[in-house]
Amino acid sequence: MKIYLLANDWPGAQVAKHLVECGDTIEKLYLHNANEQKYADQIKANAKVPEDRIYSVDILKDPEHFKEMRQDPPDFIITVFWSYLLKPDFFCLAKNTLNFHLALLPTNRGWYPHVHSILDGTPTGVTIHQINEKADAGPVWAQKEVSLLDEDTAYDIYHRLRKEIIELFKKKWPLIKAGKIKPVAQDESKAVYHKKKEADFLDTVDLSRLYSGSQIINLLRARSFGKKGFAFFEKNGKKTYLNLKLSKNPEFDNPDNSK
């Protein structure tokens, strides 16, 4: 297979590595702008693409680049944790397309799907799907539900979903490229899309409001991400940030009872 890979972050590095291990050729590699890149060096090392065929996202605005692509189109365009919407004149050049999304589509299209699942109880999972003009709306190649545990914060479920989608890709990629899986259209009547800015309105804990136990716990764990706590309350003009820790073990920092 001849592939154009548009990749970012740890999953992008894993996909690049697996494609090369499968004997597929990453013909061109596209990366985020420099200030938005994550794992770029590892992606480049794993993809084994010559420097003159590694591009920044800005090249996709260049008509000459499209002219070159039309002369020798790829079998697949694959996007992994790619933050930019692609135009049809780019992704339609490929015989097929594939994108990664950390949700059970069509539920929770868009940004921070794991956060919204914690808040509203929608199932968590991963989906590999085709690309079309609408974000995360293309027909589904494969998906898997991944259980949200009671002790999960946004950080925990997010990192587990990333691992699960890579495992799903490794399992399904041979079948996809061999034409043994046919993508299935999403049910638009069940589609839910979340904009990036929605997260900005999740963080305020109103001290004058009465919350149920589950509401406040879910709000805090949805906005706790490792060392970062995004939720806050405001008092006397000052913000205090909150970060929730959850565990099945009552001993958090010092599990050794002898100390």
pLDDT digit string (tens) for 10-61?
999 999 999 999 999 999 999 999 999 999 999 999 999 999 999 999 999 8
Degrees, nearest 5: CA angle 52-57-59 = 60
Is 213 in the same domain as 180? Answer: no
Q: In this structure, is residue 33 part of a structural domain?
A: yes
- What is the pLDDT averaged over residues 240-250? 92
Alpha helix segments (H runs only) across the chain? 9-21, 40-47, 63-71, 88-91, 113-120, 154-177, 213-222
- What is the pLDDT averaged over residues 70-96? 91
Is 16 in the same domain as 103? Answer: yes
Is 63 in the same domain as 85? Answer: yes
Taking a C-beta distance cutoff of 8 angstroms, is the pair 102, 162 a contact? Answer: yes
Q: In this structure, is residue 86 part of a structural domain?
A: yes
Strand order in the sheet with 54-56: 54-56, 25-31, 2-7, 76-80, 96-101, 125-129, 140-145
Is 185 in the same domain as 206? Answer: no
Q: In this structure, is residue 47 part of a structural domain?
A: yes
- Count how many domains the chain has: 2
Q: In this structure, is residue 247 part of a structural domain?
A: no
CATH number at residue 139: 3.40.50.170
Is 120 in the same domain as 182? Answer: yes
Q: In this structure, is residue 225 part of a structural domain?
A: yes
Is 18 in the same domain as 138? Answer: yes
Is 49 in the same domain as 109? Answer: yes
- 123, pLDDT greater than 80: yes
Is 103 in the same domain as 207? Answer: no
Is 45 in the same domain as 144? Answer: yes
pLDDT score recorded for residue 253? 64
For the chain, what is the mean pLDDT?
A: 94
Q: In this structure, is residue 128 part of a structural domain?
A: yes
Is 121 in the same domain as 208? Answer: no
Tokens of 111: 């940004």
227: containing domain: 197-242
Q: What pTM, to 2 d.p., does this model score?
A: 0.92
Alpha carbon distance 8, 39 (integer Å): 7
Q: In this structure, is residue 255 part of a structural domain?
A: no
Is 118 in the same domain as 34? Answer: yes
Is 92 in the same domain as 206? Answer: no
Q: How confident is the model at residue 136 (pLDDT cuts 50, 70, 90)?
A: very high
Q: In this structure, is residue 252 part of a structural domain?
A: no
